Structure 1
Amino acid sequence: MINVAIVGTGNIANMHVKGLLEFPERCKIVALCDIYPEKAEAMKEKYQIKDCEIFADHKSMLESDVKIDVVHVCTPPYVHSSISIDSMNAGCNVLCEKPLAASIEECNEMLEAEKKNGVVLGAIAQNRFRNGVYKLKKLLDSGLAGKLCFAEVESAWWRAHSYYDLWWRGTWEKEGGGPTLNHAVHHIDMLNWMMGCEPTEVIAMLSNVMHDNAEVEDISVACVKYKDNSMARILSSVVHHGEEQGISLQCEKAKISVPFDVKAEIGQANGFPKEGGNTELIKEITDYYNSIPDLKYEGHTGEIDNYLTALENGTRPLITGEDGKRTIELITAIYAAGIMKKQVEMPISMDSEFAHTGTIVNKAPHFYEKKESVENFADESFTVGNYK
Structure 2
Amino acid sequence: MLRVGIIGAGGISSAHIRAYLAFHEECEIVAVADTAPGKAASKLESHGIRGAKAYEDPHQMLAEEPLLDLVSITTPPSSHASLTVAFLLGGMHVIVEKPMAPSLEECDAMIAAQRESGKILSVVAQNRFRDDMATLKKAVDSGLIGSVSHLRIESAWWRGLAYYDLWWRGTWESEGGGCTLNHAIHHIDLALWLMGRPTEVIAMLANAQHENAEVEDLSVAVLRYGRGLAQLTSSVVHHGEEQEIVIQGQFARISQPWRVTAELSQPNGFPVTGGNTALVDELNALADAHIPLLHQGHEGQIGDVIAAIREHREPATDGTDGRNAVEVVTAIYKAGIEREIVQLPLDPEDPYYRSGTLVQRAPHFYEKRASVGEQSGEIIVGASTPTSND
Query: Aligning the two structures, in what range does the TM-score lie when normalised by the shorter sequence?
Result: over 0.9
Alignment CA distance shift 1:293-1:386 (3 Å): closer
Look up the equivalent residue of 1:344 and give its one-letter code: V
Alignment CA distance shift 1:143-1:368 (3 Å): same
State yes or no: 1:58 paired with 2:66: no
Match 1:243 to one of 241, 244, 256: 241
Give 1:208's aligned residue: 207
User: What is the CA distance between 1:387 and its match in structure 2?
Assistant: 2.5
Look up the equivalent residue of 2:116 and give its one-letter code: K
Contact 1:101 1:107 in 2 (8 A): yes
Task: Report the Cα distance in structure 1 between the residues aligned to 2:222 and 2:319, rounded to whole angstroms.
Answer: 25
Calculate the TM-score normalised by the size of structure 1: 0.98
Q: Cα deviations across residues 225-260 of structure 1 (Å, max 9, x unaligned)?
A: 12x222111110000011111211111110111110
User: What is the CA distance between 1:144 and its match in structure 2?
Assistant: 1.3
Q: Cα deviations across residues 171-199 of structure 1 (Å, max 9, x unaligned)?
A: 00000011100000000000001013x21
Give 1:224's aligned residue: 223
Give 2:85's aligned residue: 85
Contact 1:11 1:382 in 2 (8 A): no
User: Percent of counterpart pairs with the same letter?
Assistant: 45
Give 2:26's aligned residue: 26
Runs of 5+ consecutive residues of structure 1 not aligned to the other structure:
none
Look up the equivalent residue of 2:316 and give its one-letter code: L
Match 1:364 to one of 362, 365, 373: 362
Runs of 5+ consecutive residues of structure 2 not aligned to the other structure:
none
- Residues 60-209 of structure 1 correspond to what in structure 2 (within 5 A)? 60-65=60-65, 67-196=67-196, 198-209=197-208
User: What is the CA distance between 1:386 and its match in structure 2?
Assistant: 4.4
Alignment CA distance shift 1:386-1:172 (3 Å): farther
Task: Report the Cα distance in structure 1 between the residues aligned to 2:254 and 2:65, rounded to whole angstroms.
Answer: 52
Alignment CA distance shift 1:65-1:190 (3 Å): closer
- Residues 260-279 of structure 1 correspond to what in structure 2 (within 5 A)? 260-279=258-277
User: What is the CA distance between 1:66 and its match in structure 2?
Assistant: 5.5
Look up the equivalent residue of 2:320 and give its one-letter code: E
Give 1:323's aligned residue: 321
Local SS of the residue matching 2:280 = helix
Give 2:286's aligned residue: 288
Q: Cα deviations across residues 292-328 of structure 1 (Å, max 9, x unaligned)?
A: 1111111100111111111110011111000000001
Local SS of the residue matching 1:159 = coil
Contact 1:96 1:122 in 2 (8 A): yes
Task: Report the Cα distance in structure 2 between the residues aligned to 1:293 and 1:201, rounded to whole angstroms.
Answer: 36
Task: Report the Cα distance in structure 1 between the residues aligned to 2:382 and 2:62, rounded to whole angstroms.
Answer: 30
**Deviates most, 378-387 or 84-93:** 378-387
Q: Cα deviations across residues 260-283 of structure 1 (Å, max 9, x unaligned)?
A: 011101111111111211111101
Local SS of the residue matching 1:199 = coil
* Aligned alpha-carbon RMSD (Å): 1.2
Give 1:313's aligned residue: 311
Alignment CA distance shift 1:80-1:384 (3 Å): farther
User: What is the CA distance between 1:51 and its match in structure 2?
Assistant: 1.5
Look up the equivalent residue of 1:288 and give its one-letter code: L
Local SS of the residue matching 1:43 = helix
Look up the equivalent residue of 1:215 and give its one-letter code: E
Give 2:10's aligned residue: 10
User: What is the CA distance between 1:381 and its match in structure 2?
Assistant: 3.7
Task: Report the Cα distance in structure 2 between the residues aligned to 1:160 and 1:386, rounded to whole angstroms.
Answer: 21
Look up the equivalent residue of 1:36 and give its one-letter code: A
Look up the equivalent residue of 1:106 and give its one-letter code: E
Local SS of the residue matching 1:79 = helix
Contact 1:37 1:54 in 2 (8 A): no
Q: How many residues align?
A: 386
Local SS of the residue matching 1:357 = coil
User: What is the CA distance between 1:384 and its match in structure 2?
Assistant: 4.4
State yes or no: 1:336 paired with 2:334: yes
User: What is the CA distance between 1:383 and its match in structure 2?
Assistant: 2.1
